[in-house]
Every structure is written in structure tokens, then in C-alpha cells.
Chain A
């Protein structure tokens, strides 16, 4: 047995262990922490499978951002958790166990009966990749071959944010999200929030830029930018903007709008919606990715910041 097999088996056991622990944990906080470590371990699995793009996304979104959202939910639910810790009745537990077992069995059957090599479009995608001007096949698929999915994904992101905003009480509507974070200006966290963002912003833009030829892309880069922004807001270095600000709304829709405009222009210049003229495919993809980075960073940051809880004119 060689070393890789040992490492991979250990990783698989760790992932399964973290998953079971997350489900079995009694308190919501412990479950959220378990979920974050589960996501980080899972991203190591993706690296092991040579899917670095997926690993980056898993670490940034699946573990990092979702983790912050879950921890926020735990903090909100803490008041009610004491009531829900009562053990449910036997009938309910047996029903839940039977349902879970059935779903697991069905999934296992499906996975085990999958054909050895499924139908794939990968060779065609690789053959057509030079026409897009990008070198990373994942970026090629996301931005050119399956551009429609990526466009809808950005629209969904903005819609999700509108959904969160609609939870605001009437008097705070169009106000500032979340609670105000006031910390002593010479504290540890404000120092951290002033030191790290220059590196983080550089890394976020680099991830987007290098995504053309290496693992990375607008989503991973945007998540890093959102994390830096959240750090600045949570440390109280800069307050969250009121959601009625014109620049917030313009930046939020800029990604989908530019994508849609380029897509519509494709009907005239390249003969199909979301098609690019081959000669300028690469510059067009960049033109779409820059506002998309902005939209993703802003939408993710504001999603975590939560619905407006302070009136816009409050200090």
C-alpha cells in the first residue's frame, strides 16, 4: 500500500467523521463549527482530485461564507434553542430514521449503478477552448459554453439579497444593515481589519485575473473581497452602507446588466444570445468578469450583513 492511498483513506475517514459529528452535535453552535471543518476537509478532497477550482469555491463559499451565515443564524436562534433541545417523541425519531435510511440507500444505489465512464462533453469543450481565448477550461465553460447558467446565477444572487432585505421592519427599510459594531479603535480586531485588507483585496483581484488561465475566477475572488469588507464592517472600522445608496444598487446590478448587454449584443455580432465574436472573446469575457466581481463581493457581503435594522438617517 503506498503513501497516497494511506493519506486519501485518512482524509476520507476524517470527512466522514466530521459529517457524522456535525449531524450528531446537540448544540447548533457545535454543529455550525463542525460544518465549517467538514467544508475545509472536503476542499482538501477536491485538491486531491485535481479539481482546484472546486476546492477554492468549497473553501470560500461552502465553508467560509456559509459558515459565517450559519454562525449568525445560531446567534439569532440562541434565545429559542432551550425549547428545541427537548427530545422528540419515539414515533417522530423512528420516522426520521427510516426516511434518512431510505434516502441514503437510494443515493447509494444510484451512485453504485452509475456507468464506469459517464457521458461527457469534456473533449469537445477542450477542443473548442482556444476560441474563447482563456486557458482554464473551468472558466471557459462558466463564461462561454455555459454562460447562461452563470448569468442566471448572478441574477439569483441579487434576488436572494432582495429577499433578505425584505425582512427589514418598515421603519428601517432602505436603512443600514445589521447592528452597529463599536469597538475601541486601538483594539486587536480593528488593527487586524486595517492590516489584512490590502493583502486580501490584492488576492481577490488576482484570483479573478488569474482565473483565465489558472484555477480561480470571479466567484472565488469576489468571496475574498466580501470577506475583507465584512472584516472591516465587523471591526467597526467602516459602517455598512445604507441600502438606499445609489452606488450600492448600481454596483449590485452592474454584473448581470453588463453580462446581459454583452449577451444581447452577441445576437447582432455573433448570431446568438450570449455568443461572442471569436476575435474579441477574451476582452469581452474580462469586461463581464470585472463588474461581476463587484456584484459578487457586494452581494455576498450584504447577505452576511443581513436585513436593514437601523433607519438610514439614524447616526
Chain B
């Protein structure tokens, strides 16, 4: 059972890391601010989400697991707010063609 849980953790965290890698590649390669933001927010939302889900079986206690979930939710809130605000500034600076 615990080996199965460890496998689940490994797969989920690695998938999350792939999303982060894709986000960084997008940040470096995409042509304009809005597409770069698009790439970056996927890494934040899905990547961190997968990593947190993967870590849940290793958390040890229900309380620690809830803390991990709370961290994810707060990062989601902050990242989406910042993403929105940067997108607004970017639209004003370089209007879409």
C-alpha cells in the first residue's frame, strides 16, 4: 500500500514539475506578454496543484495535509490576482492587433 502511495507521489510531483518546466519555456519563448502570462499561470495553477496532491499522502497528519491545501489555495488566489493585474497593464502598454 505504501509503495503504491509513494508511486502516486512520484508520478504526481513529476507531472507537476513538467508543468513548471513548460511554464518557464513558455515564459522564455512566447512572443508577447499575454501569451507569456498564459504559460506562467498554468505552471502556478496546475503544476503546484499536482505537486500538492502528490505530497498529500506523505503529509503524515490530516492537519498537515490541510495546511498544504491551504497553501495551494492562497497561491492560486495571489497568482490569479497578479496575473489579471499584469495582463491589464500589458494591454494598456501594447494593445492587441
* Chain B residues, Cβ within 8 Å of A199: 74
* Chain A residues, Cβ within 8 Å of B77: 192, 195-196
User: Quick check: A188 and B78 within 8 Å, CB to CB?
Assistant: no
A191 to B74, CA, bound (A): 13
* Chain A residues, Cβ within 8 Å of B74: 196, 199
User: Quick check: B85 and A196 within 8 Å, CB to CB?
Assistant: no
CB distance from B1 to the nearest CB of A (A): 27
* Chain A residues, Cβ within 8 Å of B84: 188
| Identity of the chain A residue whose Cβ is nearest the Cβ of B84 in the assembled complex | A188
CB under 8 Å from chain A, chain B span 42-97: 74, 77-78, 81, 84-85
Interface membership of A189, Cβ < 8 A? yes
A189 to B78, CA, bound (A): 10
* Number of A-B residue pairs at CB separation under 8 A: 14
A195 to B78, CA, bound (A): 10
* Chain B residues, Cβ within 8 Å of A188: 81, 84-85
Interface string of A303-315 (1 = CB under 8 A from B): 0000000000000
Contacts A192-B77, A192-B81 known; list 12 others, CB within 8 Å.
A188-B81, A188-B84, A188-B85, A189-B81, A189-B85, A191-B81, A192-B78, A195-B77, A196-B74, A196-B77, A196-B78, A199-B74
| Identity of the chain A residue whose Cβ is nearest the Cβ of B73 in the assembled complex | A199
A188 to B74, CA, bound (A): 15
CB under 8 Å from chain B, chain A span 190-211: 191-192, 195-196, 199
A299 to B77, CA, bound (A): 27
A196 to B82, CA, bound (A): 13
A191 to B84, CA, bound (A): 12
A49 to B65, CA, bound (A): 26
Q: List 10 A-B contacts (CB under 8 A).
A: A188-B84, A189-B81, A191-B81, A192-B77, A192-B78, A192-B81, A195-B77, A196-B77, A196-B78, A199-B74
